[in-house]
Amino acid sequence: MKELLQQAKEILEYTYDHPESGRLVQCIDMLEEAKETAGGKREMLENVITAVTQAHHAQLALDIAGDVSSSAAFGQAFNALDQAIESYS
C-alpha cells in the first residue's frame, strides 16, 4: 500500500508540473481499487481520494491560468498523500 501511495504522489507531482497530462484520473482509479483492501485505513484512503479528486477538478484552472486556488488543491492532495504514506511507515 505504501508503494501505491508513493506512486500516487509521484503522479500528483508530475501532473502539477504538467497539468495537460490528465494522469490524475489514472491515479484516482488506482486509489479507488486500493480502497477495497485498505482495512482499518479505508476512511483515510477515502480522504486521500477526495483530495486528489479536488486537485483533478482544479487541473484545468492550473493549466490555463496557474491559479492560486488550484495550486492549493494540489497542496492539500500532496499533504493528504504524505500523511497516508507516513501512516504506513
Per residue in 19-55, pLDDT (tens digit) is: 888 899 999 999 999 998 988 999 999 999 999 999 9
CB atoms within 10 A of CB 31: 23
Q: How many angstroms separate the CA atoms of 81 and 78, rounded?
A: 5
Extents of the domains making up the chain: 2-87
Q: Is 18 left (phi over 0), alpha (psi -120 to 50) or beta?
A: beta
pTM of the model: 0.88
H helix or E strand, kind and range, residue 55: helix 42-65
